[in-house]
Amino acid sequence: MISQFFVLSQRGDNIVFRDYRSDVPKGSAEIFFRKVKFWKEDEEEEAPPVFNLDGVNYFHVKVAGLLFVATTRVNMSPSLVLELLHRIARVIKDYLGVLNEDSFRKNFVLVYELLDEVIDFGYAQTTSTELLKSYVFNEPIVVDAARLPPLGPAAMFMQGTKRMPGTAVTKSVVANEPGGRKREEIFVDIIEKISVTFSSSGYILTSEIDGTIQMKSYLTGNPEIRLALNEDLNIGRGGRSVYDYGSSAGAGSVILDDCNFHESVHLDSFDVDRTLSLVPPDGEFPVMNYRMTQEFKPPFRINALIEEAGAFKAEVILKVRAEFPSTITANTIVVQMPLPKHTTRVSFELESGAVGHTTDFKEANKKLEWGLKKIVGGSEHTLRAKLTFSQESHGNIMKEAGPVSMTFTIPMYNASKLQVRYLQIAKKSKTYNPYRWVRYVTQANSYVARL
Amino acid sequence: MAPPAQTQRSASPSQPSGKGEVSDLKLQLRQLAGSRAPGTDDSKRDLFKKVISYMTIGIDVSSLFSEMVMCSATSDIVLKKMCYLYVGNYAKGNPDLALLTINFLQRDCRDEDPMIRGLALRSLCSLRVANLVEYLVGPLGLGLKDKNSYVRTVAAIGVLKLYCISASTCIDADFTSMLKTLMLNDPDAQVVANCLSSLQEIWSLEASTSEEASREREALLSKPVIYYFLNRIKEFSEWAQCLVLDLVSKYVPADSNEIFDIMNLLEDRLQHANGAVVLATIKVFLHMTLSMTDVHQQVYERIKAPLLTLVSSGSPEQSYAVLSHLHLLVMRAPILFSSDYKHFYCQYNEPSYVKKLKLDMLTAVANESNTYEIVTELCEYVANVDVPIARESVRAVGKIALQQYDVNAIVDRLLQFLEMEKDYVTAETLVLVKDLLRKYPQWSHDCIAVVGNISSKNVQEPKAKAALIWMLGEYSQDMLDAPYVLESLIDNWDEEHSAEVRLHLLTAVLKCFLRRPPETQRALGAALAAGLSDSHQDVHDRALFYYRLLQYNVSVADRVVNPPKQAVSVFADTQGSEIKDRIFDEFNSLSVVYQKPSYMFTDKEHRGPFEFSEEIGNLSVGEEIADTVTPAQRVEASDNDLLLSTSEKEENRGPSNNGSAYSAPAYDTALQIQSELTVSSSSLPSYAPQPSLPIDDLLGLGLSAAPSPPPLKLNPKAVLDPGTFQRKWGQLTVSSSQDCSISPQGVAALSTPQVLQKHMQGHSIHCIASGGQAPNFKFFFFAQKAEEPTTFFLVQCLYNTSSAQAQIKIKADDPSTSDAFAILFQSALSKFGIS
């Protein structure tokens, strides 16, 4: 069982602190913070999420710049505690709308109230926002969401897509709209994180998609929902059905390696017609997580070249080509490349007519950084950089630079082709027609090209 | 909440310093206490919030206790909650004041609103004041029978709280049997779960003194109870499911049908999005099938996909917890994961604690089919900017090399690392090449060529430097400039801060001297002189030891520092299988993350209610460690135990040695020295000093090297036909294998192989075949024991004139005499060119 739970700001201040068992010294928050901050100063290593110090086990997760910490003296399941910490963060976010230090400080009494019900004497009770609603009475003090960095994968919808109401994902589950009436709406987000490693010759070494179907419901009365996925969806590689489909439906079928589901999901008809039925609880939760290693077309091709140009000079050429339809636009793209450690100066040369590009040489860690506001499908962009070294490089310059890594967000695009065919809400009356948002987004997890 | 500790902390400007504000609050609270004006509650809320916020940041607001209690007479539930929070926090430190709250809490326990009843009961139980327990019993008893499940949930945990304050009160009131009834009958799953939590904790603590409690605890694992929980499993919250599954994993089913039933029932739990539920289920599966090898293996196959999904779907922290468990499974059954190696590739943006686990797993699953891909991938990480991971990756490549049969390609990769000219890569690689050479001496040629090119100035890390020096000493005959490199290192003796390096330097220079005396003489003298005046005790002792050894007998010195070495086949494992099994027993706990069993990091009292198996086995630190020992000490104590048990296994050599601070080669020789000395004491006089060299000049020692002829007599007219020789050579095993140096005169005298043949014949050792040309010659000799015509000695002698080294392999019909023969042979060889 958990002895203490506390939340620390980035500076190490206690924002909330709850002691359940009083068998861990009171100064644990400070001890913890010092340990995490100076884990291994020389090697720049991060503290692992679990460690033991003088017989006390410290668990922590980082959410929205805050440290959620639990301590215990007993040999608990690390998975349980870390899941619980994340779940607490999510419940709090459901209530506050926005999770950050400011909203936390303004609402700490509410947070205490939540904590009282979530953990009793160190034992987890419930983390269901739905159930907690009946025990929690403080009203959240809503903070201005616009200028604050939001939490969670759904946050990426904040930018760009204009059709979405701005406050959608930062709305508290309990706070009422200014008009007094709650807006009936439900969000289903298909969020995919892709990892691709290209070899130096552009061949795909590894690729994986980690996806989540995330749901956030603001529907009153918790109606039942049916969510239909691709009919030709297959789960598990090498199963018989995979080959059946492979021969009849061709390459069109989606084959997931594996997936798991939220508790509330009923899979009764999943095997028949690939529909999930559920009564969505309040708050944000993942309906389904899935993993896919089936081959897919990577959205970007990266071409990187580094060449010596004299004793103290070298030239880098970076090319990025968007291999998705021109109706789709990727945004917030950053391309990074570590340069040889003797690099002292870099001069950049962008293609003519480049708009919204930024280039930077991070002297401290010898990294080249190329930012692009957006890339339209089908286009190609090139960056040339001239490097100057402080000393002559001997040996292979290719071995001292790279690999090139890339981060991006592509709204309304998913590499796996997994789709929500329809989202059906059990109707209460004829006039009942809540807003339904089904959104797709793809993000880079580890997108790397080797030199 | 941490009131006293943090008050000393220098208050930042944004935070109130305390005193003034607190007395201000006190006044305001007093004013509001009696007021019934509208809006009072709102003002109270604001004040209460302030109090709680002070409390959180560590300002002591306990002086407001009576005011807070006065203000608590309200129907506003938010206010009540804040007040409960405050009271719960300060009651323990102010037992007298806590009495003030009993009244209103007891009244609230009888409130109409179940919410208020529950909250009040929870607060009442949380006061943690021993002399107030009498007020607790009544409300708790009512709470357990309350018609509202929320109140019962609170009461079930409340019983445990009471037990922790006063065990006897709790037991006397017979709350445990009430809990047991509730647990087996309550319609609300959370009540059931809380009863289980409380009972497990109470009975575990009681079990040591009460037989009944330990019986009850056992009864939790009986079939009816387990089945009762299993049948209701889906009613429980995900957290309570974990609790139940943990209980089930301790249950021993009667037969395999039962096992399959349980597994089928729990099958869908593997698809749960909560990693804790999945891991708890996996624990059940793994433990139940332990004795069914086939099914156990199927379980591995079944849980792979869910585990991998959890690893990639959660946050880095959750992923780490799951990955640690996957790591454990991979280490247990690497073969089952050998085709999944790509999942263990590192991503550039992963935290290093994740990468390290993955590297470990990659190392473990490497086999003939995937080594090429894995090593290629690892080489990419070596070139990476992430220095700690680059280091780990070099080590991983080395480990794979050490565990593979076909190391050819890997050795090449390792040697390429040395050409990358990154200090840390070079350093790690050197250490590995050294280990590799100890296991695969046959690679020395390739390795030495590359290592020889490394400038010792580029190697700064002690471990790497020690490795390089070891190689310089060990392979001094192959590395042309070994004596000179060593000499320059010795010249900088005073700047060498690591004692380990200095120790290695002493040994290496002595080895080098014994093989290439003229070139190394000066360096040896300098090293011994520096060593003798060294402030480090071990360095001083070793220098003195070598000095005396040389003074005593050079050939003994040679045998001490250059003993015949067998290639190391297995490097000492860091963990015994017993410890690994124990960690596996504790699946889904911190033991897996820390990679040590729980007794190493928890105190006994905290091993928790889940620890049903008490006996820790012979690894236990046991009962003798009193409870006064701090956890840290205890961990240390058991760590020592662990060290002992593993170091004893180390290469099965000699007594365990406290010099474990030194890395392997030095350690070896240290052990060798001890055994050599005891063995040689009897046969010492018979040893001939083979390098008859001007050692006398070295430090002005008088060497008394008077060789007496060995007792072994050889037949001067022995005959052996080449066919028999070949057959014998094929049948017999090498009974003695030695390297010895050849005097400069010997080198000079060997113009053709025939000269040596003739010389050896004079010592009754006959040549049957010879060949080669300068600097490498190869001879096959044989000899026959004088009295026993059936006992032959066969010798292969590799003679290298450029390094002045001879490598001798002896096979004998009677291996027990081969040592004596070796001495004879060496003595004969050493006289070559002189007489």
B101 vs A171 pLDDT, higher one: B101
Token pair listed for A172: 């508290």
Contact check, Cβ <8 Å, B322/A79: yes
How close, in Å, is residue A391 to chain B by CA atoms? 14
Confidence (pLDDT) at B569:
66
Contact check, Cβ <8 Å, B57/A13: yes
Counting one residue from chain A and one from chain B, the pairs whose CB atoms sit within 8 A come to: 264
Tally Cβ neighbours within 10 Å of residue B613. 10
How many Å apart are CA A176 and CA B505, to the nearest integer?
Answer: 77
Q: Can you say how many angstroms the Cα of residue B814 is from the centroid of all Cα atoms in its chain?
A: 45
Q: Which residues of A touch B310 (CB under 8 A)?
A: 260
CATH code where residue A270 lies: 2.60.40.1170
**Residue A331 domain flag:** yes
pLDDT digits (tens, 9 = 90+) for B584-634: 999 999 999 998 888 888 876 665 444 444 333 333 333 333 333 334 333
A243 vs B280 pLDDT, higher one: B280
Note the ipTM here. Answer: 0.87
Please calculate the CA angle A370-A375-A381 and round it to the nearest 5 degrees: 60
- Pairing, β A233-235 against β A254-256: parallel
Q: Are B230 and B240 in contact (CB under 8 A)?
A: no
How many Å apart are CA B800 and CA B816, to the nearest integer?
Answer: 28
b/e map B229-239, b = 16+ CB within 10 Å: bbeebeebbbb
DSSP string, B84-99: HHHHHHHTTT-HHHHH
Dihedral of the alpha carbons of A21, A25, A28, A29, in degrees to the nearest 10: 70
Tally Cβ neighbours within 10 Å of residue B577. 8
* Residue B741: HSE in the Cβ half-sphere, 13 Å Cα cutoff: 30
Residues 6+ apart with CB under 8 A from B210: none
Contact check, Cβ <8 Å, B351/A22: no
How many Å apart are CA B424 and CA B438, to the nearest integer?
Answer: 22
Closest to A5 in 3D by CA, of A63, A58, A80: A58
Contact check, Cβ <8 Å, A197/B345: yes
Q: Does residue A143 register a pLDDT over 80?
A: no
Residue A420 belongs to domain spanning: 153-296+413-449
Residues A380, A245 within the same domain: no
pLDDT digits (tens, 9 = 90+) for B398-456: 888 887 766 677 878 888 888 777 788 888 888 888 888 888 877 777 788 778 777 77
Token pair 């009430």 in the structure block, residue: B178
Residues 6+ apart with CB under 8 A from A426: A223, A224, A225
Percent of chain A clearing pLDDT 90 (strictly above) = 40
Confidence (pLDDT) at B558:
86
For the residues B485-491, what does the mean pLDDT come to? 88
Q: Does residue B328 register a pLDDT over 80?
A: yes
Q: Which residue of A has its CA nearest to B317?
A: A49
B514 vs B565 pLDDT, higher one: B514
Confidence (pLDDT) at B711:
67
Confidence (pLDDT) at B144:
94
pLDDT digits (tens, 9 = 90+) for A374-413: 999 999 999 999 999 888 766 677 777 878 999 999 999 9
Give the mutation candidate from B1, B154, B241, B458 for the A interface (greatest A CB count, under 10 A): B1
**Residue A230 domain flag:** yes
Confidence (pLDDT) at B626:
37
pLDDT digits (tens, 9 = 90+) for B6-30: 333 433 444 445 567 788 888 888 8
**SS3 category, A211:** strand
**SS3 category, B611:** coil
Q: Does residue A54 register a pLDDT over 60?
A: yes
Q: Which residues of A touch B590 (CB under 8 A)?
A: 50, 52, 57, 75-76, 78
Structure letter (DSSP) for residue A333: E
Q: Are B815 and B695 in contact (CB under 8 A)?
A: no
pLDDT digits (tens, 9 = 90+) for B343-371: 999 988 888 889 999 999 999 898 888 88
| Confidence tier at A108 by pLDDT (50, 70, 90) | confident
Q: Which residue of B has its CA nearest to A126?
A: B237
**Residue A140 domain flag:** no
**Residue A143 domain flag:** no
Token pair listed for B553: 């007998």
Residues A14, A30 within the same domain: yes
**SS3 category, B356:** helix
Q: Does residue B687 register a pLDDT over 70?
A: no
B2 and chain A in contact, CB less than 8 A:
yes
Closest to B558 in 3D by CA, of B669, B708, B431: B669
- Pairing, β A56-63 against β A66-72: antiparallel
Tally Cβ neighbours within 10 Å of residue B568. 17
How close, in Å, is residue B146 to chain A by CA atoms? 17
For the residues B547-551, what does the mean pLDDT come to? 90
Confidence (pLDDT) at B828:
83
> Hey, which bits of A240-328 come out as E strands?
254-256, 258-261, 265-266, 275-278, 283-292, 300-308, 313-322
| Confidence tier at B117 by pLDDT (50, 70, 90) | very high
Residues 6+ apart with CB under 8 A from B803: B476, B477, B478, B515, B516, B775
Most confident of A181-195, A235-249, B57-71, B296-310: B296-310
Q: Can you say how many angstroms the Cα of residue B305 is from the centroid of all Cα atoms in its chain?
A: 28
Contact check, Cβ <8 Å, B190/A125: yes
B601 and chain A in contact, CB less than 8 A:
yes
Out of B77, B313, B325, name the one closest to residue A137 (CB): B77
B480 vs A199 pLDDT, higher one: A199
How many Å apart are CA B736 and CA B573, to the nearest integer?
Answer: 29
For the residues B124-150, what does the mean pLDDT come to? 89
Residues A229, A263 within the same domain: yes
Q: Rounded to 5 degrees, what are φ and ψ at B78?
A: -65, -40
Token pair 């291994």 in the structure block, residue: A40
Contact check, Cβ <8 Å, B419/A395: yes
Closest to A113 in 3D by CA, of A137, A97, A131: A137
Confidence (pLDDT) at B815:
78
Confidence (pLDDT) at B675:
38
Contact check, Cβ <8 Å, A137/B310: no
What's the sign of the alpha-carbon dihedral B730, B732, B733, B734? negative
Residues A158, A257 within the same domain: yes
Q: Does residue A124 register a pLDDT over 90?
A: yes
Confidence (pLDDT) at B280:
96
What's the sign of the alpha-carbon dihedral B451, B454, B455, B461? negative
Residues A264, A352 within the same domain: no
Contact check, Cβ <8 Å, A78/B351: no
Crossing angle between the packed helical segments B316-332 and B577-585, to the nearest 10 degrees: 130
Residues A290, A431 within the same domain: yes
How many Å apart are CA A55 and CA A53, to the nearest integer?
Answer: 5
Residues A163, A106 within the same domain: no
Residues A309, A388 within the same domain: yes
Domain count, chain A: 3
**Residue A122 domain flag:** yes
Residues A157, A279 within the same domain: yes
B352 and chain A in contact, CB less than 8 A:
yes
Q: Are B18 and B57 in contact (CB under 8 A)?
A: no
Residues A339, A370 within the same domain: yes
How many Å apart are CA A20 and CA B822, to the nearest integer?
Answer: 75
Residues A112, A257 within the same domain: no
What is the distance in angstroms between the CA of the first residue and the CA of the last residue of chain A?
49
Residues A103, A174 within the same domain: no
Please calculate the CA angle B558-B560-B566 and round it to the nearest 5 degrees: 100
Q: Are B407 and B436 in contact (CB under 8 A)?
A: yes
H/E stretch holding B248 reads helix B238-248
**Residue A226 domain flag:** yes
Confidence (pLDDT) at B358:
92
How close, in Å, is residue B125 to chain A by CA atoms? 10
Percent of chain B clearing pLDDT 90 (strictly above) = 25
How many Å apart are CA A107 and CA A49, to the nearest integer?
Answer: 26
Q: Which residue of B has its CA nearest to A339?
A: B385
Token pair 């999770």 in the structure block, residue: A99
How many Å apart are CA A321 and CA A117, to the nearest integer?
Answer: 52
pLDDT digits (tens, 9 = 90+) for B220-258: 999 999 999 999 999 999 999 999 999 999 999 998 899
Out of A121, A257, A259, name the one closest to residue B161 (CB): A121
Confidence (pLDDT) at B615:
37
Confidence (pLDDT) at A125:
94
Q: Are B225 and A114 in contact (CB under 8 A)?
A: no
Give the mutation candidate from B153, B238, B392, B419 for the A interface (greatest A CB count, under 10 A): B238
Task: Quote the mean pLDDT of chain B.
Answer: 79
Most confident of A43-52, B94-103, B250-259: B250-259
How close, in Å, is residue B476 to chain A by CA atoms? 28
Q: Which residues of A touch B161 (CB under 8 A)?
A: 121
**SS3 category, B288:** helix
Closest to B561 in 3D by CA, of B503, B474, B486: B474
For the residues B742-766, what does the mean pLDDT come to? 77
**Residue A148 domain flag:** no
Q: Does residue B655 register a pLDDT over 50?
A: no
| Confidence tier at A169 by pLDDT (50, 70, 90) | low
* Residue B657: HSE in the Cβ half-sphere, 13 Å Cα cutoff: 21
For the residues A170-197, what does the mean pLDDT come to? 76
Asked if the bond preceding B775 is cis, omega within 30° of 0, the reply is yes
Contact check, Cβ <8 Å, A446/B388: no
**Residue A9 domain flag:** yes
Q: Which residue of A has its CA nearest to B344?
A: A206
Q: Which of A132, A162, A193 is the last residue of a domain?
A: A132
Q: Which residues of B touch A48 (CB under 8 A)?
A: 320, 351, 353, 593
Q: Does residue A217 register a pLDDT over 50?
A: yes
H/E stretch holding B581 reads helix B577-585
